[in-house]
């Protein structure tokens, strides 16, 4: 049935609970966040349209899915591609077939000739189907899944488009000497190529968010499937940064005074909400504040990192990347953070993967993007 209004959205959100019953790695997202994501308030819907459905049997939800069209993607790629996402279902091939067929039919009616996913809702939000790494909980803004999802989706004609990797990084890891020398040399130079690191300037947050967004959009502009962050979308992410991330967990590198690279590290809110079962009321919000401000999470994620395109494939570009990541790492260690995830990274992004692996990172989760031609 189509999802309509607050009541329908509530059923859509609750459909996850039956699917993950008994899965100790799953963390139920906060309901308030899920309501916002799939409501018209999500800034995605300023440039996209979508529809969602819940599959029921004997009056009980057994699965869900959404389908959406991103005008920014179509403008940039001109490929008549629509997307599916938020796919959750019990292990029943008939349920998966019904859900994906419904999403495909809707996309076809909108003139799309290819479907790709999962994306909830865009490539700049949660994306990819978990295919490796089911035994550990997801970090903030990352998805979980059941192992049987892969077989069910592939049996319906979906093929791999690309994989995304999540890396585990020990923040106490020290850079190899050659990398540290590279960073030191860039920072010690003079003139227009001098590199200076600085933390987020919270008193000028709007300006800082514009800088971070501009660097990210430029750095990632040639990557697979890229769609630029809009100002409202990045502002929403900035609200999360403002609440969760101290200033020195956000690092900006300037070259000759011009912002050239950035790294954002955010404490893992999923660690703090694990036993709240999606609820902030009546006492969940008190527990959450205590765990974020007093107890403090021991895990974190780097969801945003980038070096301006003009520095790609250069020694200075490598130095910039290592510099911002190393500064954020040091700030994390000072706060007792013991585990950092860097995600996601395209499997074909050899430069970024080399940098992360050179810093001791190990891939521990793999997410897959699927696609299918709509006949």
Domain boundaries, the chain: 5-165, 171-359
β-pair type (258-267, 114-117)? unpaired
Q: Which CATH class is domain 5-165?
A: alpha beta
Check: CB of residue 364 under 8 Å from CB of residue 133: yes
Check: CB of residue 123 under 8 Å from CB of residue 227: yes
- Model-level pTM greater than 0.85? yes
CA 119/CA 67 separation, integer angstroms = 9
Check: CB of residue 118 under 8 Å from CB of residue 158: no
Phi, psi of 197 (to 5 degrees): -100, 145
Cα–Cα distances (Å) from 287 to 245, 272, 281, 284, in that order, read 18, 8, 10, 5
Check: CB of residue 55 under 8 Å from CB of residue 98: yes
CA 141/CA 221 separation, integer angstroms = 21
Structure tokens belonging to residue 340: 């950092």
β-pair type (114-117, 81-89)? parallel
Task: Please check whether the two domains, 5-165 and 171-359, share a CATH topology.
Answer: yes
CA 89/CA 60 separation, integer angstroms = 12
Residue 194: what pLDDT?
Answer: 80
Which residues touch 44 (CB under 8 Å, ≥6 apart)?
68, 70, 121, 122, 125, 233
Q: What angle do CA 182, 184, 186 make, to 5 degrees?
A: 70
Task: Looking at the chain, list the stretches that DSSP marks H as alpha helix, in order from N- to C-terminal side.
Answer: 5-19, 31-37, 71-77, 93-109, 148-154, 177-188, 205-219, 231-244, 269-273, 284-290, 315-334, 350-358
| Helices 350-358 and 315-334, packing angle to 10 deg | 50
Coarse DSSP helix, strand, coil percentages of the chain, rounded to the nearest 5 percent:
40, 30, 30
Check: CB of residue 176 under 8 Å from CB of residue 354: no
Task: Looking at 189-281, list the stretches that DSSP marks H as alpha helix, in order from N- to C-terminal side.
Answer: 205-219, 231-244, 269-273
CA 333/CA 373 separation, integer angstroms = 47
Check: CB of residue 330 under 8 Å from CB of residue 121: no
CA 291/CA 195 separation, integer angstroms = 36
The per-residue b/e assignment along 94-108, b for 16 or more CB within 10 angstroms, e otherwise, is: ebbebbbebbbebbe
Q: What are the contacts of 75-81 at 24+ separation with CB within 8 A?
A: 76/226, 76/227, 76/228, 77/225, 79/114, 80/111, 80/112, 80/113, 80/114, 81/112, 81/113, 81/114, 81/115, 81/116, 81/371
Q: Which fold has domain 171-359?
A: Aminopeptidase (3.40.630)
Residue 192: what pLDDT?
Answer: 67
Check: CB of residue 351 under 8 Å from CB of residue 222: no
Q: Number of helices and strands (H, E) in the chain?
A: 12, 14
Residue 191: what pLDDT?
Answer: 62
Task: Report how far Cα 255 is from the mean position of its chain's Cα atoms.
Answer: 28
| pLDDT in 10s for each residue of the chain, 375 residues | 788 888 888 899 989 999 999 999 999 999 999 988 998 899 999 999 999 999 999 989 999 999 999 999 999 999 999 999 999 999 999 999 999 999 999 999 999 999 999 999 999 999 999 999 999 999 999 999 999 999 999 999 999 999 999 999 998 887 777 777 777 776 766 666 788 999 999 999 999 999 999 999 999 999 999 999 999 999 999 988 888 999 999 999 999 899 999 999 999 999 999 999 999 888 888 999 899 888 899 999 999 999 999 999 888 898 899 889 989 999 999 999 999 999 999 999 998 898 888 888 999 999 999 999 998
């Amino acid at each position: 049935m189509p999802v309509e209004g607050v009541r329908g959205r509530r059923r859509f959100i609750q459909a996850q609970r039956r699917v993950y019953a008994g899965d100790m790695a799953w963390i139920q997202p906060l309901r308030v966040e899920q309501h916002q994501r799939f409501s018209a308030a999500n800034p995605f819907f300023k440039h996209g349209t979508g529809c969602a459905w819940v599959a029921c049997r004997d009056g009980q939800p057994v699965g869900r899915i959404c389908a959406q069209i991103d005008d920014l993607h179509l403008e940039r790629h001109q490929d008549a591609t629509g997307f599916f996402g938020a796919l959750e279902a019990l292990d029943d091939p008939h349920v998966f077939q019904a859900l994906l067929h419904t999403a495909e039919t809707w996309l076809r009616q909108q003139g799309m000739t290819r479907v790709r996913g999962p994306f909830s809702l865009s490539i700049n939000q949660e994306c990819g189907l978990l295919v490796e790494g089911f035994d550990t909980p997801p970090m903030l803004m990352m998805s979980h899944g059941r192992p049987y999802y892969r077989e069910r989706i592939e049996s319906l004609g979906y093929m791999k488009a690309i994989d995304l990797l999540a890396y585990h990084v020990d923040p106490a890891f020290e850079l190899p000497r050659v990398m540290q020398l590279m960073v030191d040399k860039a920072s010690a130079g003079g003139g227009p190529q001098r590199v200076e690191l600085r933390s987020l300037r919270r008193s000028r947050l709007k300006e800082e968010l514009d800088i971070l967004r501009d660097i990210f959009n430029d750095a990632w502009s040639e990557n697979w499937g890229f769609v630029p962050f809009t100002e409202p979308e990045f502002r929403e992410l900035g609200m999360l940064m403002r609440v969760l991330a101290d200033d020195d967990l956000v690092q900006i590198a300037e070259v000759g005074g011009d912002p050239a690279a950035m790294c954002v590290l955010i404490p893992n809110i999923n660690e703090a909400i694990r036993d709240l079962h999606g609820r902030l009321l009546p006492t969940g919000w008190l527990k959450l504040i205590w765990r974020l401000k007093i107890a403090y999470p021991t895990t974190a994620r780097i969801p945003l990192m980038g070096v301006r395109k003009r520095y790609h494939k250069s020694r200075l570009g490598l130095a910039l990347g290592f510099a911002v990541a190393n500064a954020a790492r040091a700030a994390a260690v000072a706060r007792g953070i013991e585990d950092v995830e860097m995600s996601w990274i395209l499997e074909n992004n050899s430069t970024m993967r080399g940098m992360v692996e050179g810093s001791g990172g190990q891939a521990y989760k793999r997410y897959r993007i699927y696609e299918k031609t709509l006949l």
